[in-house]
């Protein structure tokens, strides 16, 4: 099933309408299989340019039975959120208006939104959090619905079998399917729901640096010097690129990583605090509850099916 989505993914990465048209015609005429189709794209594309201009990363994924913990959560973050529910009874609030996340649709919430969740029932939620260097969202389209088509359903069905309620470390297949699902869903949004991001490799590399040194305290002076910018210019460009300050970006990453560790269930709270660079367990618990609606211990139980 992945094989049939490889051409689509590479065309998304290329992001060139003329190239997509030419390739589609050649593919139709020659009836190449998917792998030969991919080789054609790679041969006729500037791979270095593609690698530098396109970054797509799955931040977190899982399935969870929603409850009171998902009520009144603030959903603003530096990444996109993708939700799919199997029943009504939960949604988001924007501009004082309740929007219910209904079965039969995928919902895409852009980074840095002002949405707040609500929950009155217990639907099962499949979720993916992802970053992309190509597109941000629009302040006028904060909750985007995409009707589940047969191709989306095929991806969702396979992903549900690979993402159990008790989450383990994501497999390569799971990551590829999630990337295909998120890319395909984004491609179905109207143009006005997306904001094209200008390439900014210096800032992107700082994001990578923060991710790989998550447990360290990297000063603004150090980060600006690494980006070869003044502090003021760096802060302005970083905020424009990510929608958050370097400190906010780091905090989001730390607690998303903590949530993933809790879902995997292999590390205790003290180990998690040390790994993400938080040195006060009580501060960690307070901040975690503020971000996820429940204390770390209950969050672990919810994702491992132990909380009734």
pLDDT (tens digit per residue) in 209-257: 998 999 999 999 999 999 999 999 999 999 888 878 999 889 988 998 9
pLDDT, tens only, 64-80 = 899 988 998 888 888 89
Same domain, yes or no, for 77 and 39? Answer: no
Q: Does the pLDDT at position 12 exceed 70?
A: no
Same domain, yes or no, for 132 and 237? Answer: no
Domain boundary among 33, 53, 73: 53
Domain span at residue 236? 201-303
Query: Based on the structure, what is the number of domains in the chain?
Result: 3
Q: What is the pLDDT of residue 305?
A: 63
Report the helix count and the strand count for the chain, using DSSP H and E. 13, 10
Same domain, yes or no, for 60 and 169? Answer: yes
Q: Does the pLDDT at position 204 exceed 80?
A: yes
Domain boundary among 159, 179, 196: 196
Q: How far apart are CA 37 and CA 24, in angstroms?
A: 9
Establish if 34 belongs to a structural domain: yes
Residue pair 206/233 in contact by the 8 Å Cβ criterion: no
Same domain, yes or no, for 252 and 235? Answer: yes
Same domain, yes or no, for 293 and 223? Answer: yes
Same domain, yes or no, for 39 and 102? Answer: no
Same domain, yes or no, for 98 and 223? Answer: no
- Based on C-alpha coordinates, what's the Rg of the chain? 20
Same domain, yes or no, for 49 and 62? Answer: no
Tell me, what CATH number does 150's domain have?
A: 2.60.120.280
Same domain, yes or no, for 88 and 153? Answer: yes
Q: How far apart are CA 137 and CA 149, in angstroms?
A: 22
Interhelix angle 34-43/17-30, rounded to 10 degrees, is 140
54 class by beta-carbon count within 10 Å (0-12 exposed, 13-18 middle, 19+ buried): middle
Distances (CA, A) of 65 to 19, 101, 106, 135, 166: 43, 14, 17, 30, 11
Same domain, yes or no, for 189 and 210? Answer: no
Establish if 43 belongs to a structural domain: yes
Same domain, yes or no, for 212 and 268? Answer: yes
Establish if 308 belongs to a structural domain: no
pLDDT, tens only, 106-117 = 999 998 888 999
Q: Does the pLDDT at position 29 exceed 50?
A: no
| DSSP for residue 147 | E
Domain boundary among 196, 221, 250: 196
Q: Does the pLDDT at position 20 exceed 50?
A: no
Tell which wins on pLDDT, 198 or 214: 214
Q: Does the pLDDT at position 39 exceed 60?
A: no
Q: What is the pLDDT of residue 10?
A: 47
Establish if 88 belongs to a structural domain: yes
Tell me, what CATH number does 293's domain have?
A: 1.10.10.60
pLDDT, tens only, 125-147 = 999 999 887 788 888 899 999 99
Q: Does the pLDDT at position 62 exceed 70?
A: yes
Q: What is the pLDDT of residue 165?
A: 52
Residue 48: pLDDT band by 50, 70, 90 thresholds?
very low
Same domain, yes or no, for 140 and 206? Answer: no
């Amino acid at each position: 099933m992945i094989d049939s989505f490889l051409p689509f993914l590479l065309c998304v990465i290329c992001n060139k309408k003329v190239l997509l048209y030419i390739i589609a015609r050649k593919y139709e005429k020659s009836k190449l299989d998917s792998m030969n189709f991919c080789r054609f794209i790679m041969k006729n594309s500037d791979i270095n340019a593609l690698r530098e201009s396109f970054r797509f990363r799955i931040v977190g994924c899982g399935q969870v039975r929603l409850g009171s913990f998902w009520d009144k959560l603030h959903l603003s973050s530096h990444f996109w959120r993708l939700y799919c529910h199997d029943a009504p009874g939960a949604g988001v609030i924007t501009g004082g208006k309740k929007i219910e996340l209904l079965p039969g649709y995928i919902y895409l919430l852009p980074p840095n939104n002002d949405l707040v969740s609500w929950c009155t029932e217990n639907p099962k939620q499949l979720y993916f959090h992802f970053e992309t260097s190509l597109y941000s969202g629009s302040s006028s389209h904060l909750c985007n619905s995409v009707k589940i088509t047969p191709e989306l359903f095929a991806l969702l069905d396979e992903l549900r079998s690979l993402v159990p309620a008790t989450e383990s470390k994501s497999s390569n297949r799971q990551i590829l399917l999630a990337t295909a699902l998120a890319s395909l869903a984004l491609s179905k949004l109207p143009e006005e729901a997306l904001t094209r991001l200008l390439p900014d490799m210096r800032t992107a590399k700082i994001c990578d640096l923060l991710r790989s040194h998550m447990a360290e305290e990297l000063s603004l002076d150090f980060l600006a010097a690494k980006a070869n910018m003044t502090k003021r210019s760096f802060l302005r460009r970083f905020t424009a690129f990510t929608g958050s300050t370097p400190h906010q970006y780091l905090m989001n990453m730390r607690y998303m990583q903590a949530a993933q560790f809790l879902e995997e269930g292999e590390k205790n709270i003290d180990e998690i605090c040390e790994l993400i660079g938080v040195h006060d367990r009580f501060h960690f618990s307070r901040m975690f509850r503020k971000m996820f609606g429940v204390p770390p211990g209950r969050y672990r139980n919810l994702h491992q099916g132990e909380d009734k």
